[in-house]
């Protein structure tokens, strides 16, 4: 079971050191993985899932997480302050650092470490600042990976912890850590950092270290390093060149020097020696019961107020309590009126809420109607009625309209029409239906999607194209008025309409009727004449 997890994640390389339930670093677990990118605010949640998957075999749920931060992600300030008490020191450091900084105090996290030089009246301060975006990124990663964030310290804190067990204490020393894609230089005195700088290993690292140490030594001759310690992978073979350039005795150190039952480094992890050394230093400090400094999660704060301050706070609290009681007694007098007003407003609110909900439904309907780019159905029904060849052979029983079925498909056919009807003469009288379909297909205004006939009933599914009003130019001609029949007498020659020839109708009817029907009609006419003559003779 892992109780603490130390992580160094930068430049696509993740180094993990896990401490087991045993005291110290004995039996600790090591993990090195190449990843994509570095922790950043944009991908914090995805990187939390990645870290959770990487640590799946560690069983670290709920463990304490300590993060090592690279020097190039921090802002460093070196300054000197007067020797003041612990209550005034944090405020003084913050004031001097933020005075010359362009960043807003709310956008950074500040912590610092102090060092007292022999014979110096002032106190040396190395202040480091972390942007709030990266601070929040690590909080998100820790929460998403089910870890409890317990510390955010720079790499120099790990180097300080490593040198507290391996290096001299009474003289200034320089420590160089060479990672795969990063390198850092730290100057220490009595376990306190005096100088820190990030170096680029791709651009003449040895000469860069020499120039940095020469510049620091010229500005601080009393704390110039007396020796040089190197934390680098085995394949880095520039030890002699570095010793010659700096003119300092050089000694290599390893991450787990002096640790019993130390874990062996993973295969092909030589580039992770520096990162594991930093994590080992952070773990050594905490296993001794000390705190890593600086720590952006738990920065230095002014001490708690004195007893006098506590008494003052108690008096203020008592006065505030009395004022609260008086205000409560005053408000009790107007409670009844306030409650009545509240009930009235509550009822009014409920009524308005109901009206609002009803109005939203109505608005949705209006919106749907407004978005319905439909045709002019009155003109369409008029137009379809004109296309029916003969209402005796074909009758419409139902017409229903709806929006087109695939609104996402671009087409000129805006609406859908369903026509149901019947053939009074039976299913064999299909010529009327065929004539109607031919009329509908003629202009390209209608598209027959479906034609179904069951017996004398039929159903048509038609897509309708929207047209401008001037395209509806059909006219329904009214039918001729039927002739009035005269009861008890036949129409004489004088009663004929102008242009109507006597016997023309009978002749045409006789031509159309069968011989048997003609004979029956003649018999009826002769009987009628006899009846009329009989009546006249009797009268």
In a domain, 502, yes or no: no
Residue 276 neighbours by CB distance under 10 Å: 27
Q: Is residue 100 domain-shared with residue 238, that is, in the same domain?
A: yes
- Answer whether 207's CB lies under 8 Å from 220's CB: no
Token representation of residue 54: 């990487």
- The rounded Cα 182 to chain-centroid distance in angstroms is 35
Q: Which two tokens stand for residue 326?
A: 């008086």
CA-to-CA distance for 82 and 452, rounded, in angstroms?
A: 100
d(CA 26, CA 286): 14
User: Residue 396: pLDDT above 70?
Assistant: yes
Query: Does some domain include residue 331?
Result: no
Q: Is 73 a residue whose pLDDT tops 50?
A: yes
DSSP for 309-357? HHHHHHHHHHHHHHHHHHHHHHHHHTHHHHHHHHHHHHHHHHHHHHHHH
**Does residue 495 carry a pLDDT above 60?**
no
Contacts of 117 (CB under 8 A, 6+ apart): 124, 189, 222, 223
Q: How far apart are CA 157 and CA 278, in angstroms?
A: 8
CATH number, position 426: 3.30.70
Q: pLDDT value at position 119?
A: 79
Is residue 128 within a helix (H) or strand (E), and if so which, with residue range? strand 122-131
Q: Identify whether the C-beta of residue 373 lies closer than 8 Å to the C-beta of residue 367.
A: no
**Cβ-proximal residues to 90 (8 Å cutoff; 6+ apart), any chain:** 299, 300, 301, 302
Backbone φ, ψ for residue 338 (5° rounding):
-65, -40
Answer yes or no: is 406 within a domain. Answer: yes
What b/e readout covers 242-262, taking b as 16+ CB neighbours within 10 angstroms? Answer: bbebbebebeebbbbeebeeb
The predicted pLDDT at position 479 comes to: 66
**Is the dihedral angle over the CA atoms 123, 285, 175, 199 positive or is it negative?**
negative
**Residues 135, 107: Cα–Cα separation, whole Å:** 10
Q: Which domain holds residue 268?
A: 4-287
Model pLDDT for residues 511-530, shown as the tens digit of each residue: 444 444 454 554 444 444 44
Domain-ending residue, one of 268, 287, 306: 287
Cα–Cα distance for residue pair 176/188, rounded to 1 Å = 11
**H helices of 145-292, where?**
155-166, 205-219, 239-246, 273-287
Give the span between the Cα atoms of 393 and 429, in whole angstroms: 7
Give the model's pLDDT for residue 159: 94
> Would you list the DSSP string of 22-52?
SSTTTT-EEEEEE-SS---GGGHHHHHHHHH
Q: Is residue 320 part of a domain?
A: no
Yes or no: say if 16 and 5 are a contact pair by the CB < 8 Å rule.
Answer: yes
Residues 150 and 280 placed together within one structural domain of the fold: yes
Q: What is the pLDDT of residue 140?
A: 95
- Judge if 278 and 401 occupy the same domain: no
Residue 21 reports pLDDT greater than 90: no
Answer yes or no: is 18 within a domain: yes
Q: What is the mean pLDDT of residues 395-424?
A: 82
In this structure, are residues 128 and 34 in contact, taking their beta carbons and an 8 Å threshold? no
Do the domain assignments include residue 522? no
- Per DSSP, the residues of 58-97 read GT-TT-EEEEEEPGGGSEEEEEEEE---TTTHHHHHHHHH
Q: Is 287 exposed, middle or buried (0-12, 13-18, 19+ CB in 10 A)?
A: middle
- Residue count of the chain, please give it: 539
Q: Same structural domain for residues 174 and 36?
A: yes
pLDDT for the residue 533: 41
Classify the phi-psi angles of 289: left when phi > 0, otherwise alpha if psi is within -120 to 50, otherwise beta.
left
Confidence grade of residue 163 (pLDDT, cut at 50, 70, 90):
very high
Does the N-terminal peptide bond of residue 200 adopt cis geometry, omega within 30 degrees of 0? no
Residue-wise pLDDT for 465-487, tens only, equals 888 888 888 876 776 676 665 54
Residue 58 has pLDDT above 60, yes or no: yes
- Are 282 and 381 contained in the same domain? no
Say which CATH number the domain at 154 has. 3.30.420.380
Share of the chain above pLDDT 70, in %: 85
pLDDT at 9 over 90: yes
Last-in-domain residue among 287, 319, 339: 287
Other beta carbons less than 10 A from residue 238's beta carbon: 15
Is pLDDT at 374 greater than 50 in this prediction?
yes
* pTM (2 d.p.): 0.58
Contacts (Cβ under 8 Å, ≥6 apart) of 149: 65, 67, 138, 139, 142, 143, 297
Q: Do 162 and 281 meet the contact criterion of CB atoms below 8 Å apart? A: yes
Q: How confident is the model over 264-314, as pLDDT tens digits? A: 777 677 788 999 999 999 999 999 999 999 999 999 988 766 667 778 888
Judgement on whether residues 274 and 383 belong to the same structural domain of the protein: no
The pLDDT, as a whole number, for residue 372 is 58
Number of domains forming the structure of the chain: 2
Residues 281 and 381 in one domain: no
Q: Which residue has 């011989």 as its token pair?
A: 515
Q: Which of 244, 262, 287 represents a domain boundary (last residue)?
A: 287
Task: Please report where in the chains the tokens 């009393």 appear, as a residue.
Answer: 222
More confident residue, 113 or 403: 113
Mean pLDDT, rounded, of the chain: 83
Note the maximum CA span of the chain: 167
Q: Is residue 292 part of a domain?
A: no
Residue at 393 is within a domain: yes
Query: Would you state the structure tokens that stand for residue 128, as one six-digit string?
Result: 């480091």
- Alpha carbon distance 31, 12 (integer Å): 14
Q: Tell me what percent of the chain is helix, strand and coil, each rounded to the nearest 5.
A: 40, 25, 35
């Amino acid at each position: 079971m892992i109780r603490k997890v130390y992580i160094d994640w930068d430049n696509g390389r993740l180094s993990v050191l896990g401490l087991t339930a045993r005291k110290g670093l004995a039996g600790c677990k090591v993990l090195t993985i190449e990843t994509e990118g570095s922790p950043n605010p944009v991908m914090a949640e995805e990187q939390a899932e990645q870290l959770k998957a990487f640590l799946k075999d560690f069983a670290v749920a709920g463990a304490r997480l300590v993060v090592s931060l690279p020097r190039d992600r921090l802002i460093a300030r070196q300054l000197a302050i007067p020797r003041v008490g612990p209550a005034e020191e944090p405020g003084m450091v913050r004031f001097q650092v933020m005075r010359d900084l362009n960043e807003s105090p709310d956008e950074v996290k500040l912590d610092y470490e102090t060092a007292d030089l022999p014979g110096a009246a002032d106190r040396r301060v190395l202040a480091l600042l972390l942007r709030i975006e990266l601070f929040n990124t690590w909080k998100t990663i820790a929460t998403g990976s089910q870890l409890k964030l317990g510390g955010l310290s720079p790499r120099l804190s790990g180097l300080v912890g490593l040198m507290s067990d391996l290096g001299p204490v009474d003289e200034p020393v320089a420590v160089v850590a060479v990672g795969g894609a990063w390198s850092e230089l730290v100057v220490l005195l009595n376990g306190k950092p005096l100088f820190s700088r990030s170096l680029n290993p791709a651009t003449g690292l040895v000469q860069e270290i020499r120039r940095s140490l020469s510049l620091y030594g010229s500005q601080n001759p009393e704390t110039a390093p007396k020796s040089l310690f190197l934390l680098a992978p085995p394949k880095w073979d520039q030890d002699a060149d570095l010793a010659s350039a700096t003119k300092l005795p050089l000694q290599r150190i390893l991450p787990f020097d002096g640790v019993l039952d130390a874990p062996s480094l993973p295969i092909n992890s030589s580039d992770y020696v520096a990162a594991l050394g930093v994590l080992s230093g952070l773990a050594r400090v905490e296993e001794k019961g000390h705190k890593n400094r600086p720590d952006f999660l738990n920065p230095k704060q002014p001490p708690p107020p004195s007893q006098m301050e506590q008494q003052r706070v108690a008096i203020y609290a008592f006065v505030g309590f009395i004022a609260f009681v008086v205000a409560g007694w005053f408000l009790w007098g107007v409670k009844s009126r306030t409650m009545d007003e509240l009930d009235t407003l509550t009822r009014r609110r409920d009524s308005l809420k109901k009206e609002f909900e009803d109005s939203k439904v109505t608005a949705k309907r209006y919106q749907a109607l407004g978005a319905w780019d439909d045709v002019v159905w009155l003109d369409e029904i008029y137009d379809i009625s004109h296309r029916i060849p003969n209402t005796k052979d074909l009758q419409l029983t139902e017409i229903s309209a709806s929006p087109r079925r695939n609104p996402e498909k671009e087409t000129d056919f805006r609406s859908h029409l369903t026509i149901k009807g019947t053939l009074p003469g039976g299913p064999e009288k299909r010529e009327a239906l065929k004539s109607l379909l031919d009329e509908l297909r003629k202009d390209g205004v209608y598209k027959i999607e479906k034609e179904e006939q069951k017996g004398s009933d039929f159903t048509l599914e038609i897509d309708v194209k929207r047209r401008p009003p001037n395209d509806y130019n059909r006219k329904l001609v009214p039918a001729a008025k039927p002739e009035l029949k005269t009861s008890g007498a036949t129409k004489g020659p004088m009663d004929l309409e102008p242009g109507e020839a006597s016997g023309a109708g009978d002749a045409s009817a006789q031509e159309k009727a069968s011989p048997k029907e003609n004979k029956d009609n003649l018999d009826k006419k002769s009987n009628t004449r006899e009846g009329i003559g009989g009546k006249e003779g009797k009268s």
